[in-house]
Homo-oligomer: A and B are copies of this chain.
Amino acid sequence: EYEKMPRSAKGLEGAGEWHVFKALLPDLRNKSVLDLGCGFGWHCRYAREQKASKVVGVDISEKMLQRAREMTNDPYISYIRMPIEDINFSKEQFDVVISSLALHYVESFKAVCQKVFTCLKTGGAFVFSVEHPIFTCRKEQDWYYDDHGNRLHWPVDHYHSEGMRKTAFLTENVIKYHRTVSTYINDLIRSGFNIRAVKEPVPPEKMLMRLPEMKDEWRRPMFLIISAEKT
C-alpha cells in the first residue's frame, strides 16, 4: 500500500510538503548528507542531483533499502540498515542531516537530537519533517464525521499526554510516538541547536487544484517541518 501513495510512486513531487522542505535545505553542493529514515531513497538521490559529495541513508526496513538500491547504482550513496535511534556516527562528519516523516516513529526524539548534533559539523543544518502533533495526538488520527460521512472538523484530545500511539496506517498497525510542538522545539534547543524556521506546510496551489480532497489540508496542520542549525 505504501508503494501506491503518490509520494512513493511519483517521488518527491508527489509529496504535498516537499516544496516547503526543499526550500529549507541549504545548498547541497559538495556537502556530506545523512538521511534518517530514507525509505526508497528519494531524498538521497535528490541530494546527489544537487551535487552532494556523499550521502548516507539510514532505514530500519531492508525491503525499502533494497528498492532504494535498485533505483540507483550511485557509489556515493550508501545505505545502512539500522533503527534511527542506533546511529553512532563519528563527530562532525556531516554538513546536513535530513529526515522526512520518520522521527514520529522514534521513541526518544531527544536522543536523536543529541546524536545528530554530535555528527554535524559546526554550521551544519538539521532539517526534518514529522507528522504534526495535532495529527498524532489521538490514536484514531482521523477527521470527525457527521452521520452522512462529511468531515466536520479535526478532533484534538490527549495533546499533553506524550508517548506511544497504536494507529492504523494503510491497513497495517503502526506504532507512532506523539510529542507536543514545544517538545520538538525545546529538545532541539536543549541539544544546542538554533531554530532557523518552523513550518506547517500546506500543499502547493497546483496540487490543491488537481486533487480536490486536498482542500481539507487547509483545515488542520498535517506536517511540522523544522530547520535547525548547529552554531
Contacts and interface: CB of A to CB of B under 8 A. Distances in A.
B153 A152 contact: no
A127 to B, nearest CB: 14
Given A134-B134, A144-B144, A181-B181, A157 B220 contact: yes
Secondary structure of the A contact surface, majority rule: mixed
A155 B153 contact: yes
A121 interface: no
Contacts of A159: 134, 154, 200, 218-221
Contacts of A189: 195-197
A138 interface: yes
Given A134-B134, A144-B144, A200-B180, A220 B156 contact: yes
A156 B158 contact: no
A199 interface: yes
* Total copies of this chain within the assembly: 2
Interface in A133-176: 134, 138, 144, 152-161
Interface string A193-223: 0111111101000000000000001111100
A157 B197 contact: no
A73 interface: no
B157 A155 contact: no
A157 B154 contact: yes
Given A134-B134, A144-B144, A181-B181, A157 B196 contact: no
Given A195-B189, A198-B185, A153 B144 contact: yes
Contact of A182 (B138, B186, B200, B218): B200
Nearest to A228: B195
Interface of A: 134, 138, 144, 152-161, 180-182, 185-186, 189, 194-200, 202, 217-221
Given A155-B156, A186-B197, 5 more contacts: A144-B155, A153-B157, A158-B219, A182-B197, A194-B195
